[in-house]
Amino acid sequence: MVRKHIIAHGRVQGVGFRYICHSIATECKVTGWIQNNYDGTVEMEIQGAPHRVDMYIEKVSKGNRFVRVRSLDIFDIPPLRALEEKGFRIKY
């Protein structure tokens, strides 16, 4: 089990990016959270099996015709215990 703290840069606010990430997290079976930051970036934490987290990062970095991910700052952080987090949530 691994956990990553990620900051996304680019056109990632006002284009549905958090909802796309939620859908990708469900597809990849990872847990965590995501939120907009005041500086225009989007911050998230993702946890799961290493191959699932890698798959999530790969899919998120591609964006779509509205979302343009310029770069991702990715940091390893200690995983939470399984009981501490269930699912993936969007913070407001």
The pLDDT value given to residue 69: 98
Q: What is the pLDDT of residues 24-42, one digit of tens each?
A: 999 999 999 999 999 999 9
Q: Which of 3, 11, 18, 81 is catalytic?
A: 18
Q: Which of 36, 65, 70, 89 is catalytic?
A: 36
Active site residue 18: yes
- Give DSSP secondary structure letters for the chain: -EEEEEEEEEE-SSSSHHHHHHHHHHHHT-EEEEEE-TTS-EEEEEEE-HHHHHHHHHHHHH--SS-EEEEEEEEEEPPPPGGG--SEEE--
Active site residue 36: yes
Q: What is the pLDDT of residues 42-92, one digit of tens each?
A: 999 999 999 999 999 999 999 999 999 999 999 999 999 978 898 999 998
Q: Which residue has the tokens 């079976």?
A: 29
